[in-house]
Amino acid sequence: MGVQIKRREFIMALSATGISSVVASSAAAQFSWTLSSPKKKVVPELDFNAYLAKIRKFNKVHPTDYYLHSDQMPLLKSTTLRFKRLQRLVGHANFHLLSFDDAIAYSKRYSQVDKFTPDELDFLEGLFDETADHYGFMGQKPIKNLTNRIPKREVIKIRHTGNYLYKGKPVEMYNRIKKDLGDQVILTSGIRSVIKQFFLFLSKAYSSDGNLSLASRSLAPPGYSFHGIGDFDVGQVGYGKLNFTAQFARSDVFRRLQKLGYIDLRYTRDNLLGVRFEPWHVKVV
Ligand SMILES: [Zn+2]
């Protein structure tokens, strides 16, 4: 598939998401393509290439990346560390299901976590409500409510993984994959609550000096992750961190999944959502 075709898809995706108007109206928008009129969209080749460079070199800083304001940096640090202490308190597995209200309750009750300050809560709420497209993440937001709860009766803990899956389609698909591929395949990440996604996203943003664009190329912002509603990640046993790299596409497990028709990726190579290629992420919903 040539660049021309992809470019056209790119433009169509932009109009479908309504991004073009955001780009036209917002000075903060990270995209710099020009629009000659609201109806006629012109995306210069150069900017499409710049877009591809961003998602291919997702972990590098790019000139148009969007950062948190310097005033917010202390809040980014304190909330990230508080989530880390909270995860240590409740354990990794439970943390996957923890709701926002649970997090607040635990933080009040346990001095080793200590309660969220009003400024921290404002910061978290603001970040959750902010539309992620202005820093480059163009996926949908399946979880619209910060206080969304994951009912325990709707989930199943998957043995030896510390992860949960929703009953019904997700667990059925995982069991089928296990049956077809055997011990070589493992669930590497299942359900993630808003809180878990917050922790992953904020940790990434913190380690990249508040660069929200860079963080969102690797991790969906809170509310935007389909792990919240059924998607999951698989890996090859013994493959370690390579399970979360493009290298996974060369693993036995990936090849077998592909051959058996399981591969319907949410974040394909050179996708238009502003996200890196994620061959390990299985789309369920
Ligand atoms: Zn995933």
Q: Are residues 134 and 10 in the same domain?
A: no
Q: Are residues 76 and 88 in the same domain?
A: yes
Residue 224, pLDDT above cutoff 60: yes
Q: How far is the centre of ligand 1, averaged over its atoms, from the C-alpha of 18 (Å)?
A: 25
- At 22, the pLDDT band (50, 70, 90 cuts) reads very low
pLDDT score for 262: 87
Q: Give the side-chain half-sphere CA count within 13 A for 248.
A: 29
Q: How far is the centre of ligand 1, averaged over its atoms, from the C-alpha of 283 (Å)?
A: 9
Q: Are residues 13 and 118 in the same domain?
A: no
pLDDT score for 137: 96
Q: How far is the centre of ligand 1, averaged over its atoms, from the C-alpha of 60 (Å)?
A: 20
Q: How far is the centre of ligand 1, averaged over its atoms, from the C-alpha of 205 (Å)?
A: 17
Q: How far is the centre of ligand 1, averaged over its atoms, from the C-alpha of 280 (Å)?
A: 7
User: Is 13 domain-assigned?
Assistant: yes
User: Is 218 domain-assigned?
Assistant: no
User: Is 221 domain-assigned?
Assistant: no
φ, ψ (nearest 5 deg) of residue 265: -80, 145
Enclosing domain of residue 137: 66-150+193-212
Q: What's the whole-number mean pLDDT along residues 137-158? A: 97
Residue 187, pLDDT above cutoff 80: yes
- Cβ contacts of 283 within 8 Å, gap of 6 or more: 226, 231, 264, 265, 266
User: Is 61 domain-assigned?
Assistant: no
Q: How far is the centre of ligand 1, averaged over its atoms, from the C-alpha of 227 (Å)?
A: 6
Of residues 78 and 11, the one with the higher pLDDT is: 78
User: Is 223 domain-assigned?
Assistant: no
Give residue 276's identity as a one-letter amino acid code: R
Q: Are residues 172 and 270 in the same domain?
A: yes
- At 263, the pLDDT band (50, 70, 90 cuts) reads confident
Q: How far is the centre of ligand 1, averaged over its atoms, from the C-alpha of 231 (Å)?
A: 7
Residue 116, pLDDT above cutoff 80: yes
Residue 103, pLDDT above cutoff 70: yes
Q: Are residues 87 and 202 in the same domain?
A: yes
The number of domains in the chain is 3
pLDDT score for 215: 98
Q: What's the whole-number mean pLDDT along residues 199-212? A: 98
pTM of the model: 0.85
Q: How far is the centre of ligand 1, averaged over its atoms, from the C-alpha of 71 (Å)?
A: 31
Q: Are residues 86 and 18 in the same domain?
A: no
Q: What's the whole-number mean pLDDT along residues 167-173? A: 97
Q: Are residues 182 and 242 in the same domain?
A: yes
Q: How far is the centre of ligand 1, averaged over its atoms, from the C-alpha of 119 (Å)?
A: 30
φ, ψ (nearest 5 deg) of residue 157: -80, 130
Rounded CA-CA distance 197/68 in Å is 18
Q: How far is the centre of ligand 1, averaged over its atoms, from the C-alpha of 188 (Å)?
A: 9
Q: What is the mean pLDDT of the chain?
A: 88
pLDDT score for 6: 53
DSSP summary character for residue 241: G
Q: How far is the centre of ligand 1, averaged over its atoms, from the C-alpha of 85 (Å)?
A: 23
Q: What's the whole-number mean pLDDT along residues 190-213? A: 98
- At 264, the pLDDT band (50, 70, 90 cuts) reads confident
From residue 35, alpha-carbon distances to 80, 102, 121, 185, 194 in Å are 38, 46, 38, 47, 36
pLDDT tens-digit readout, 28-69: 333 333 333 444 445 556 688 999 999 999 999 999 999 999
Q: Are residues 51 and 159 in the same domain?
A: no
Q: Are residues 186 and 236 in the same domain?
A: yes
Residue 249, pLDDT above cutoff 50: yes
Q: How far is the centre of ligand 1, averaged over its atoms, from the C-alpha of 191 (Å)?
A: 9
Longest dimension (CA), the chain: 58
User: Is 226 domain-assigned?
Assistant: no
Q: Are residues 200 and 178 in the same domain?
A: no
Of residues 17 and 244, the one with the higher pLDDT is: 244
Q: Are residues 25 and 90 in the same domain?
A: no
- At 21, the pLDDT band (50, 70, 90 cuts) reads very low
Q: Are residues 136 and 75 in the same domain?
A: yes
Q: How far is the centre of ligand 1, averaged over its atoms, from the C-alpha of 75 (Å)?
A: 26
Q: What's the whole-number mean pLDDT along residues 141-147? A: 98
SS3 54: helix
Q: How far is the centre of ligand 1, averaged over its atoms, from the C-alpha of 168 (Å)?
A: 18
Of residues 96 and 33, the one with the higher pLDDT is: 96
pLDDT score for 44: 57
- At 9, the pLDDT band (50, 70, 90 cuts) reads low
Quote the tokens at residue 249.
């596409």
pLDDT score for 105: 98
- At 107, the pLDDT band (50, 70, 90 cuts) reads very high
